[in-house]
Amino acid sequence: MEMKEKNQDEFEKYKLEVAESVSAVQKKISEEKDNRKLVDFDSYPSEELKAEVIEVVKESIDVQDVGAVGLSVPPAHISGDFALEVFDLAKKLGEKPNVLAKKIADRINERELELIKDASVAGAFVNVETQKETLYRDILAKVLELGERYGESDINAGKVAVIDYSAPNIAKPIGVGHLRSTIIGQALVNLYHETGYSVIKDNHLGDWGTQFGSLIYAYKEWGDEKKIEENPIRELKNLYIKFHAFSEEHPEVKDNARELFTRLEKKDPELVALWKRFRDLSLKDFERVYRQLGIEFDTNIGESYFTEQTDKLVDECMASGLCRKDEASEAVVVDQMGEIPSFLLRKQDGSSLYLSRDLATLQFRVNTFKPNAILYVVGNEQDLNFKQLFALGKRAEYLPDEVETKHIGFGMVLRDGKKMSTRKGTLIELEDLLSQSVEKSKEILLKKNSDADPQELDKVAEIVGIGAIIYNDLRQSRVKNISFDWDKMLDLEGGSAVYLQYSYVRINSILRKLTETYGEIDLSTLEKGEIFFESKSEFGLAKKLMMFPETILRSQQSDSPHQLCVYLEELALLFNSFYNEVSLLRTEDTKLRESRVALCEGVALVIKKGLSLLSIKVPEKM
């Protein structure tokens, strides 16, 4: 009896811990809402330029609401700094695109404008020539003024997002599938925060379910305390694999496992104690990987916390006719809803399910955090599950219309073209993958610089190795399957984090050389009016810098960090051609040189900032 109380207390204690982390998050959110000062998106040169365009468009067609305008950078053979496409607007006005384009261009040419010089028409496009000097100065001044905050904006100020990511299953090593969720989720956390959201980083641990029945069964049969001491996760994983192999031959043990899970759900003290122990051991193990990836969650609540609410919710759904007890099996079923096939909400033995725990989680998040958006960063294969969850949540009114829920799906990680699985033991363990990447990075760095200081080398190899894994994931389209190709991941010529890191380091070394030759340059004294440029590539580079805040916003709005990667690679490419075209070290004219220094600083800053939004670090030297 005494023992029983103690262990029940253990579950209660765990719930208290959760409650504490929840109030800490609530406090963080409300403080951020009150005190965070964000950069006004409209103050960016790109937006000032667009505002000028909108003003002229309004004048030329005498319409007040022209909506947002998009300026794109035209291909090199077309003259003009930006192109304005009028297709949609023409459609809205019932006018021929080329006629509308001409009206706008004519109006631009009539007017004296601050940022726009003149315009010409090419089909449905208005090609805009800017007042390059002025725009160039505005861009560099903005980048230098804001420094590491350049790119931040207030577009989503005051909004709250819960981002559910990583979410590994305890008693198993984190695999590469969960690595994808972790990497993509963290990039979205950064992007959402950067555009004004307050973000709750929620690690929804898989710490409940029938598999704990299997694990407990295996532990009782074959568990070896000594091995568990030595390497808990490996041993737990082996037990799990052993159970599955054994149950193929002896299917009856699956019933034993199910029964054990039912007992766990009823909070059988002995089983709760075992479960808690597996959970603690696992979390400690996961923390190691999270530390290496530079990730810290706000909460690690997990499914277990919600099991107790599921009964109430299922009963409520039943009362409102959203589900029913199946006569034959006694399980609770939700019937087909339109396109969405029917599914179970409670098992026949009365246990909760992944989906019912998610339903309780959803209700909890809505009530506790009052979010505007909830993102579930989980593999594509769970697409149907989330459709079912969101549909039921809406019908049961746990999910109000104004809360946006999104399943952020992603493809699998393939090994030799095939899917990996814990059960079959073909999973690459994450820690092995990370250390392999760091090792390979070290080899490459050594090839470039064979007498690097060993300690320094280790530090840089860590940054490059971890960056390679993260970038390889994010640069590809999210929904596709990915694989690890070391040559590509560590390619110094492009398409990799190390290419960007290397570009950053290179700019810094140029800046150092410039300082050695010409002395320190105090950029803060560089007034707007003192910035000059000479070549086309300089202006091209500045234009690219101008697009950074907008790129961040688009990546956030489309939930695709991939867009930011494309931008960064284009920026680095432009820098490299500028570097080849212009001799920085031999720029004799002081003003021009200082302006070029400002431009280089700006590029370095944006590369560093862009990578940091992907949670990738940069070394100062390599």
Residues lying near ligand ARG in the complex (CB under 6 A) are found at 164, 167, 169, 204, 206, 358, 361, 376, 378
Query: Cβ of residue 167: shortest distance to ligand ARG, in angstroms?
Result: 4
Q: Which is nearer to ligand ARG, 205 or 545 (CB)?
A: 205
Q: Which residue is nearest to ligand ARG (CB)?
A: 206
- Judging by DSSP bridges, how do beta strands 71-72 and 116-122 pair with one another? unpaired
> Which own/partner contact pairs does 358-361 have at CB distance under 8 Å and 24+ positions apart?
358/303, 358/306, 358/385, 358/389, 359/310, 359/313, 359/389, 359/392, 359/393, 359/396, 359/398, 360/306, 360/307, 360/309, 360/310, 360/313, 361/204, 361/301, 361/303, 361/306
Amino acid 373 reads: A
Q: Which is nearer to ligand ARG, 301 or 582 (CB)?
A: 301
Contact yes or no for 476/482 (Cβ under 8 A) = yes
Contact yes or no for 186/165 (Cβ under 8 A) = yes
Query: Cβ of residue 169: shortest distance to ligand ARG, in angstroms?
Result: 5
Query: Cβ of residue 419: shortest distance to ligand ARG, in angstroms?
Result: 14
Q: Which is nearer to ligand ARG, 380 or 576 (CB)?
A: 380
- Judging by DSSP bridges, how do beta strands 160-164 and 373-377 pair with one another? parallel
Q: Which is nearer to ligand ARG, 164 or 594 (CB)?
A: 164
Query: Cβ of residue 131: shortest distance to ligand ARG, in angstroms?
Result: 51
Q: Which is nearer to ligand ARG, 346 or 357 (CB)?
A: 357
Query: Cβ of residue 296: shortest distance to ligand ARG, in angstroms?
Result: 18
Q: Which of 542, 528, 497 is nearest to 591 (CA)?
A: 528
Q: Which of 497, 508, 547 is nearest to 183 (CA)?
A: 497
Q: Which is nearer to ligand ARG, 302 or 465 (CB)?
A: 302
Query: Cβ of residue 175: shortest distance to ligand ARG, in angstroms?
Result: 9
Query: Cβ of residue 206: shortest distance to ligand ARG, in angstroms?
Result: 3
Q: Which of 552, 543, 540, 530 is nearest to 597 (CA)?
A: 530
Query: Cβ of residue 324: shortest distance to ligand ARG, in angstroms?
Result: 24
Contact yes or no for 332/314 (Cβ under 8 A) = yes
Query: Cβ of residue 192: shortest distance to ligand ARG, in angstroms?
Result: 17
Q: Which is nearer to ligand ARG, 211 or 437 (CB)?
A: 211
DSSP state of 416: T
Q: Which is nearer to ligand ARG, 116 or 167 (CB)?
A: 167
Query: Cβ of residue 358: shortest distance to ligand ARG, in angstroms?
Result: 5
Amino acid 396 reads: A
CA 16 to chain centre: 30
Q: Helix, strand, coil proportions of the chain in percent (round to 5)? A: 60, 10, 30
Q: Which residues pair with 344 in a beta bridge?
A: 333
Q: Which is nearer to ligand ARG, 405 or 595 (CB)?
A: 405
Q: Which of 212, 192, 197, 123 is nearest to 160 (CA)?
A: 197
Contact yes or no for 603/507 (Cβ under 8 A) = yes
Reported residue count of the chain is 622
CA 12 to chain centre: 34
Query: Cβ of residue 353: shortest distance to ligand ARG, in angstroms?
Result: 11
Contact yes or no for 195/553 (Cβ under 8 A) = yes
Q: Which is nearer to ligand ARG, 186 or 361 (CB)?
A: 361
Cα-based torsion angle of the residue sequence 506, 509, 513, 514 in order, rounded to the nearest 10 degrees: 70
Q: Which is nearer to ligand ARG, 74 or 411 (CB)?
A: 411
**Side-chain half-sphere exposure of 238, counting CA atoms within 13 A:** 11
Query: Cβ of residue 360: shortest distance to ligand ARG, in angstroms?
Result: 10
Positive or negative, the Cα torsion across 514, 520, 523, 528? negative
Q: Which is nearer to ligand ARG, 377 or 545 (CB)?
A: 377
